[in-house]
């Protein structure tokens, strides 16, 4: 019997719908079939016939959207590949400063993103079955994970989100949290008050406000902000000094109809149920429970939106 498939030790292949690695072989069975030993993602091994293996196609070298260089230009690929009519070489359409160029593929070099390392602060872009974590910031604890939702869809990163544990992640981006937090406060930013009765205002530590105005105090020679006061206050606005507040990252809060909601907190609705919220694909969604417990692990892209929760079960009171 002639078997035409050829694979080698160390090669990644598909076997019964899963990606495995050939760890030994091939060897011939008494019946004359070629077999090999296959290592699964969990480290366990099994045997399989060579004819049952499928090659996993190598991903293309370039794709539309890639940032590339073609000396001396730097740009993004917007179409291709195409076959050149003269010599059959593949070429792409590359956008450079709003203009299109058509470099040969052999002249292209992909601009790779910075390598993600253990300890990096990152923002989660995609994590299957953990959509509640999309947009959240955490710390990379592993870069060699092998979990997959399907063949080829590897989630190589393990990210630790403070107070929530770890999650396997397919796509992420590095963030510089310290630099973001140190940016000057501007109108529209959300700030957190650091102490009770800060600058003689009727506030408590942890209260959140949207900045309405920024200005420079000439006599104190320092930058200050103004925010709208709580409903029922005798003043329309409160003023705070830099030592009275801290800037809150935009992905940790949501402003709805002028009210700031802390996505790390829980809220009780008019019926007594307790809500947890998180941001999924630029939309804040939540789940509720009759008990005061974290329900964020149940939040998916099909959960109720914050706006629906407020309009249907509000007002929501922070616990």
Please write the tens of the pLDDT for every residue from 251-304: 889 999 889 999 889 999 999 999 999 888 778 999 999 988 888 878 888 889
d(C-alpha 132, C-alpha 302), whole Å: 11
d(C-alpha 261, C-alpha 314), whole Å: 13
In this prediction, residues 71-95 reach a mean pLDDT of 87
In this prediction, residues 100-107 reach a mean pLDDT of 89
In this prediction, residues 72-89 reach a mean pLDDT of 86
- Answer whether 0.85 is exceeded by the pTM: no
- Give the pLDDT score at 182: 55
d(C-alpha 123, C-alpha 247), whole Å: 18
- Give the pLDDT score at 77: 92
d(C-alpha 154, C-alpha 292), whole Å: 35
Instruction: Give Cβ neighbours of residue 65 (< 8 Å, ≥ 6 apart).
Output: 76, 77
Neighbour tally for 6: CB within 10 Å? 11
Paired residues of 94 in beta bridges: 77, 101
pLDDT, greater one: 191 or 295? 191
* HEC per residue, 155-185: CCEEEEECCCEEEEECEEEECCHHHHHCCCC
Task: Copy the structure tokens of residue 263.
Answer: 């996505």
d(C-alpha 275, C-alpha 291), whole Å: 10
Q: Judge contact between 185 and 225, C-beta under 8 A.
A: yes
d(C-alpha 287, C-alpha 224), whole Å: 37
- Give the pLDDT score at 57: 72
d(C-alpha 109, C-alpha 127), whole Å: 29
Among the listed residues 1, 59, 7, the one whose alpha carbon sits nearest the alpha carbon of residue 38: 7
Band of residue 2 on the pLDDT scale cut at 50, 70, 90: very low
Can you spell out the DSSP letters for 56-75?
A: PPPPPS--TT-EEEETTEEE
d(C-alpha 152, C-alpha 4), whole Å: 24
Q: Judge contact between 62 and 81, C-beta under 8 A.
A: yes
Would you mind telling me the total number of residues written for the chain in this entry? Answer: 319
1 has pLDDT over 50: no
Does the domain spanning 181-248 belong to CATH 2.30.30.40?
yes
- Give the pLDDT score at 276: 92
Band of residue 177 on the pLDDT scale cut at 50, 70, 90: low
d(C-alpha 266, C-alpha 281), whole Å: 20
Residue with tokens 């070298």: 61
- Give the pLDDT score at 308: 95
| DSSP 8-state assignment for residue 319 | -
3 has pLDDT over 50: no
Q: Judge contact between 233 and 284, C-beta under 8 A.
A: no
pLDDT, greater one: 147 or 52? 52
In this prediction, residues 14-26 reach a mean pLDDT of 88
- Give the pLDDT score at 244: 93
d(C-alpha 171, C-alpha 124), whole Å: 7
Task: Copy the structure tokens of residue 291.
Answer: 């008990």
Please write the tens of the pLDDT for every residue from 120-164: 888 888 888 777 788 788 899 988 777 766 655 678 889 998 878
The domain locations on the chain are 12-55, 67-110, 121-175, 181-248, 251-318
- Give the pLDDT score at 227: 93
Angle at 274 between CA 289 and CA 266, to 5 degrees: 125
Q: Which of 70-79, 142-151, 301-310 has the highest mean pLDDT?
A: 301-310
Q: What is the enclosing helix (H) or strand (E) of 121?
A: strand 121-126
d(C-alpha 274, C-alpha 291), whole Å: 6
């Amino acid at each position: 019997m002639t078997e035409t498939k050829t694979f080698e030790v160390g090669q990644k292949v598909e076997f019964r719908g899963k990606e495995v690695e050939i760890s030994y072989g091939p060897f011939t069975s008494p019946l004359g079939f070629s077999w090999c030993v296959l290592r699964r993602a969990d480290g366990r091994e099994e045997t399989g016939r060579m004819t049952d293996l499928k090659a996993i196609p190598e991903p293309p070298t370039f794709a539309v959207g890639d940032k590339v260089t073609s000396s001396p230009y730097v740009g993004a690929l917007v179409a291709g590949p195409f076959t050149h009519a003269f010599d059959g070489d593949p070429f792409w359409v590359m956008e450079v400063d709003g203009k299109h160029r058509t470099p040969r593929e052999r002249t292209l070099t992909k601009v790779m993103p910075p390598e993600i390392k253990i300890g990096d602060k990152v923002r989660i872009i995609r994590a299957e079955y953990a959509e509640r974590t999309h947009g959240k910031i955490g710390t990379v604890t592993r870069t060699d994970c092998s979990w997959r939702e399907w063949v080829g869809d590897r989630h190589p990163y393990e990210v630790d989100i403070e107070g929530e544990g770890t999650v396997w992640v397919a796509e992420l981006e590095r963030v510089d949290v310290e630099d973001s937090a140190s940016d000057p406060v501007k109108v529209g930013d959300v700030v957190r008050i650091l102490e009770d009765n800060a600058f003689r205002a009727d506030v408590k530590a942890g209260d959140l406000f949207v900045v309405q105005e920024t200005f420079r105090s000439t006599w104190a020679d320092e930058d200050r902000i103004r925010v709208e006061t709580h409903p029922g206050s005798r003043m329309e606005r409160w003023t705070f000094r830099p030592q009275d507040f801290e800037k809150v990252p935009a992905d940790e809060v949501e402003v709805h109809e002028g009210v700031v909601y802390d996505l790390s907190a829980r809220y009780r609705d008019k019926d007594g149920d307790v809500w947890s919220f998180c941001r999924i694909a630029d939309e804040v969604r939540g789940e509720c429970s009759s008990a005061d417990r974290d329900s964020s692990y149940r939040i998916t892209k099909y959960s109720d939106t914050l706006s629906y929760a407020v309009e249907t079960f509000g007002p929501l009171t922070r616990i």
